[in-house]
Amino acid sequence: MQFFLDTADVGEIAELAPLGLVDGVTTNPTLVRRSGRDFLAVVREICGLVAGPVSAEVVATDYDGMRREADVLRAIAPNVCIKLPLTPDGLRACRALTADGAMVNVTLCFTAPQALLAAKAGATFVSPFVGRHDDVGFEGMALIEDIRRVFANYRFPTRILVASVRHPVHVLQAARIGADVATMPPAVLRQLFRHPLTDRGLEQFLADWAQTGQRIG
Ligand code: G3P
């Protein structure tokens, strides 16, 4: 399973990327606003920090505008992945851009039929949002299971990029289902490490070691 960071906070990415556990980054207009930074500059910096796909979202809603903005974003770095909304113009642009060799992440997916459309449009990734589904009383993970089942029937190459992840259980559930990627806020990646018994066990090991009076090297 690949782990992407869902953030436009360059400082967070710079801190976590050296762990070797960050396989890519996803941004969106809301995350860019929160960064308070220039969009193109942020994408350029992120592409220099992470070798994997860096999703940068167009804001045009028409095909021609999407193509124009995608050209600008693709010019930033070879690992830029163009993020497109799951709309008719978005999927038309998806087909054209993937045919032209671009990576495309089709976002704002909330149903399996939508994911099927994205796969037929040749999307590199499709981003079903689980947290926002949970927020309105639907089971976000049931959507992931449904999409996984549909894709397996036809061996679609489109990778399932679980998005709108709220906590470590979302990551675990997505992994149990066999989703390809989970994109998560930096805080969730940090939470994956945490368990009190790990902390307590390490403290005990170090205390016992100290009593040996020995050193390694
Ligand atoms: O960036 C796409 C998605 O992960 C955002 O989800 O619900 O946290 O805004 P959300």
φ/ψ of 37, rounded to 5, equals: -110, 165
Q: Which amino acid is at 125?
A: F
Running along the chain, 217 residues long, what does each successive block of 10 average in pLDDT? 98 98 98 98 98 98 98 98 98 98 98 98 98 96 98 95 98 98 98 97 98 98
Nearest-atom index, ligand 1, CA of 28: 1
Pocket flag, ligand 1, residue 190 (CB < 6 Å) = no
Distance between CA 141 and CA 169 in Å, rounded? 10
Residue 83: active-site member: yes
The pTM of the whole model exceeds 0.85: yes
Nearest protein CA to atom 5 of ligand 1, as residue: 164
- Indicate the length of the chain as a whole number: 217
Which among 83, 133, 159, 170 is annotated as catalytic? 83
CA 41, 47, 50, 55 torsion-angle sign: positive
Q: Which of 35, 84, 132, 134 to mutate to test the pocket of ligand 1 (most atoms within 8 A of CB)?
A: 132
Residue 173 CB less than 6 A away from ligand 1 = no
The verdict on the CB of residue 132 being under 6 Å from ligand 1 is yes
Query: 12-21: per-residue pLDDT in tens?
Result: 999 999 999 9
Q: What is the pLDDT of residue 38?
A: 98
pLDDT tens profile 42-89:
999 999 999 999 999 999 999 999 999 999 999 999 999 999 999 999
Share of the chain above pLDDT 90, in %: 100
Whether ligand 1 lies within 6 angstroms of the CB of 6 is answered as: yes
167 lines ligand 1 (CB under 6 A): no
Angle at 33 between CA 50 and CA 27, to 5 degrees: 30
**Other CB atoms closer than 10 Å to residue 41's CB: what's the count?**
12
Three-class DSSP category at 77: coil
* Ligand 1 close to Cβ of residue 116 (< 6 A): no
Q: What is the pLDDT of residue 3?
A: 98
Spatial separation of the C-alpha atoms in residues 3 and 217, rounded to whole Å? 35
Task: Say how many Å lie between the CA of residue 18 and the centre of ligand 1.
Answer: 24
Q: Measured from the CA of 27, which atom of ligand 1 is nearest?
A: 1
Question: Mean pLDDT across the chain, nearest whole number?
Answer: 98
Q: What is the pLDDT of residue 167?
A: 98
110/73 Cα distance (integer angstroms): 25
Ligand 1: residue whose CA is nearest its atom 7: 164
Question: How far is Cα 132 from Cα 117, in angstroms, rounded to an integer?
Answer: 20
Whole-number pLDDT of residue 101: 98
Domain ranges for the chain? 2-212
Q: Atom 8 (ligand 1): residue with closest C-alpha?
A: 164
Question: Could you say which of 3.20.20.70, 3.40.140.10, 2.102.10.10, 3.30.230.80 is the CATH number of the domain covering 2-212?
Answer: 3.20.20.70
Question: Number of H helices and number of E strands within the chain?
Answer: 11, 8
